Amino acid sequence: MTKKPLFYAPLAGFSGITAPMVHPGSIEHLSIVTCPACGAQVEERMPDDRCVVVWHCPGCKRALKPKPGDCCVFCSYGTVPCPPIQAGDCGC
């Protein structure tokens, strides 16, 4: 299976931040979350239908919450924004 390339575009309201504009059916579901407290990095599978507002770091056990203006921990601390944001359909 050939992976389609992502094209990046600016996020509305966020200067200098970009999000992938994906082809229909090619939403990314894996993101590497980095804990800002201890630096632990964990690859996580993101749910399609909701934003994750609390993530517990397996390294330091800290409960991470989204930064102000972000809908979820993947958008704040992950390498890939959550599926609802990728699809342009976040109702948060």
Distance of CA 87 to the CA centre of its chain: 12
How many CB atoms lie under 10 A from the CB of residue 88?
10
Q: What is the pLDDT of residues 31-71, one digit of tens each?
A: 999 999 999 999 999 998 888 999 999 999 999 999 999 99
pLDDT of residue 24: 54
**Selected residue with higher pLDDT from 88 and 80:** 80
pLDDT of residue 12: 44
* Extents of the domains making up the chain: 29-86
